[in-house]
Amino acid sequence: MEDMLKHRGWMMNRGKTTICVTIVFLLIAGCISSVCAEDNFTQADRERLVRMEATQTVFMQQVDKRFEQVDKRFEQVDKRFEELRSDMNSRFEQVDKRFEQVDKRFEQMTNMFYTLSAIFTSLFVAVFGFAWWDRRTVLVSGRKAAMEKVEDVTEDIRENMATLHRLVEVMRKFAEKTPDLKELMTRAHLL
């Protein structure tokens, strides 16, 4: 950036230098024309004018050569800027690639998280479902077993009741023949 500002400053100074050289040239030309207009223009004056023109020519050549050197230097600076720019662009491309890699990795991690969440959720549902099914199966089989046991016991009770009713009937018939038994059965409220 500083080189560019210097370059602009140099371009302004170059314009000023050109103006100064032009003014000097016009002054010399004015002096020459005024001297030529006079009749007193001598050979020494002519030689002095020729030397001044030669000096001015050499000065102009040196100024041009210096400008060429400055232009070459600016070209070198421009080349360096281009190299820096291309280097920066390659670095930015590398950084962009790295960001893309990080984005891909983050996306992979997110997908893995979703996959693990799905796996754990399905495992939880499977275990809970198995426990519910097992509990239900145990309860149903237990209920069936209990019902069967209750039915067996009820059947035994019915059989025992029937036997008991028959026994009481036999005893009532026998009590009609035996007075002691009749009295006992009456006290037990079986008659």
Note the pLDDT of residue 19: 76
More confident residue, 22 or 59: 59
Neighbours of 181 (CB within 10 A): 15
Please state the pTM of the whole predicted model: 0.39
C-alpha–C-alpha distance, residues 156 and 46, integer Å = 161
Residue 32's pLDDT is: 60
Of all residues in the chain, the percent with pLDDT exceeding 70 is: 85
pLDDT higher than 70, residue 173: yes
Type of residue numbered 65: K
Query: Dihedral of CA 70/73/79/82: which sign?
Result: negative
- State how far the Cα of 62 lies from the Cα of 50, in Å rounded to an integer: 18
pLDDT average, residue stretch 169-180: 84
Residue pair 70/10 in contact by the 8 Å Cβ criterion: yes
